[in-house]
Amino acid sequence: MARVFIDGEAGTTGLLIRELLAPRADIEIVSIDPGKRKDAGAKAELLAGVDCVVLCLPDDAAKETVALADGLGARAPKILDASTAHRIAPGWVYGFAELAAGQGDLIANASRVANPGCYATGAIALLRPLIEAGLIAADHPVTINAVSGYSGGGKSMIADYEARRAPDFELYALGLEHKHIPEIQAYSKLARRALFAPSVADFKQGMIVSIPLHLDLLPGSPSSADLEAALIAHYGDRGFVKVLAGAALADEGGKLEPEALNDTNAMELRVHSNDARNHAVLTARLDNLGKGASRAAVQNLELMLGL
């Protein structure tokens, strides 16, 4: 039985990870005495006795726990970090198993894995295959729009929405410095920084990430079918990512709602198009708490522990 410590188990991501792991017979969840959460010695002792620690903490607190683990030498556990702190840090493996062939093996063999951001998961899933296929230039001026359920905003946002103090919809991060941009650029293989406009709406969970494209401005003026084929070739039947095409798109009648994949680890990719206008919109639909957070963490944990 693998022993797992969730550091920050009272937060939204940590609570769901604990809920998903609790019924399992192959994992024992280890907790720290609440009164000793800030006791470095007590935490170091606990870390030395587990196989993996999952960090569901603010970035600075995550770095502190990693420093404690590093001080344990050979007794240090594997670390899966759900914060932003290590997503592009040297020595850390990016925890998106479907990213590329062999990525799951890298995660399985890693001692330090960074769980992806929710928006970043959708954006990278759409962009990486198309950039690698040469259908989008690495220096293309990419615009990414996204809407998420309010559960991704943490305890205060959840409280505001559930108390009806929050607006039905709002754009945010309009300083254009959202914390997911660095990992989107790094793992999409973009040479030019993307313009990212996230938003939140009055539904608890679910997410759509969308990327509009002028097809005639892309290398070789590809058709929407070319984009779709590249996505299908990249993902195939790999993991939890599915490319929807043809009849599946027609049946949706030109509409897409964000909550259909809630409580799953699935992600759906689509190419919506008007070839007569040379226009396309790429979309990724996922659960911001699922493939965008806690369920992706459990997927990575299984790989890291060989479960």
CATH number at residue 135: 3.30.360.10
Q: Which residues of 275-306 are buried (b: 16+ CB within 10 A; e: fewer)?
A: eeebebbbbbbbbbbbbbbbbbbbbbbbbbbe
pLDDT of residue 252: 81
pLDDT of residue 38: 79
User: Does residue 214 share a domain with residue 144?
Assistant: yes
User: Does residue 69 share a domain with residue 141?
Assistant: no
Please state the rounded mean pLDDT for residues 261-278: 96
pTM passes above 0.85: yes
Please state the rounded mean pLDDT for residues 86-98: 97
User: Does residue 125 share a domain with residue 96?
Assistant: no
Q: Closest by alpha carbon to 276, among 216, 218, 207, 197?
A: 216
Q: Is residue 247 pLDDT above 80, yes or no?
A: no
Mean pLDDT for all residues in the chain: 94
| Span 169-196, pLDDT tens digits | 999 999 999 999 999 999 999 999 999 9
Cβ count near 23 (within 10 Å): 7
Q: Is residue 37 pLDDT above 80, yes or no?
A: no
Element (H, E) at 87: none
Please state the rounded mean pLDDT for residues 226-252: 87
Return the CATH number at 106. 3.40.50.720
Q: Using CA atoms, how far apart are residues 173 and 153, in angstroms rounded to an integer?
A: 12
Cβ count near 139 (within 10 Å): 9
Query: Half-sphere exposure (CA, 13 Å, Cβ side) for 25?
Result: 0
pLDDT of residue 10: 86
Report residue 241 CA to chain centroid gap. Answer: 12
Rounded to the nearest 10°, the torsion over CA 54, 56, 62, 67 is -20
User: Does residue 123 share a domain with residue 264?
Assistant: yes
The DSSP bridge pattern shows strands 267-274 and 279-286 to be: antiparallel
| Span 135-164, pLDDT tens digits | 999 999 999 999 999 998 888 889 999 999
Q: Is residue 237 pLDDT above 80, yes or no?
A: no
Q: Closest by alpha carbon to 31, among 51, 14, 9, 15?
A: 9
Query: Which of 68, 107, 118, 298 does the annotation list as catalytic?
Result: 118
Q: Closest by alpha carbon to 141, among 217, 34, 65?
A: 217
pLDDT of residue 26: 96
Q: Is residue 50 pLDDT above 90, yes or no?
A: yes
Q: Is residue 217 pLDDT above 90, yes or no?
A: yes
| Span 292-303, pLDDT tens digits | 999 999 999 999
User: Does residue 214 share a domain with residue 167?
Assistant: yes
User: Does residue 143 share a domain with residue 103?
Assistant: no
Contacts of 54 (CB under 8 A, 6+ apart): 4, 5, 6, 7, 14, 17, 80, 82, 297, 301
- Residue 56 is a catalytic residue: no
Report residue 273 CA to chain centroid gap. Answer: 26
User: Does residue 170 share a domain with residue 143?
Assistant: yes
Amino acid 202 reads D
Give me the domain span that covers residue 49: 2-116+293-305
Q: Closest by alpha carbon to 68, among 128, 7, 131?
A: 7
Do the beta carbons of residue 194 and residue 143 sit within 8 Å? yes
Q: Is residue 232 pLDDT above 90, yes or no?
A: yes
pLDDT of residue 245: 87
- The model's confidence at residue 45, banded by pLDDT at 50, 70 and 90, is very high
Domain count, the chain: 2
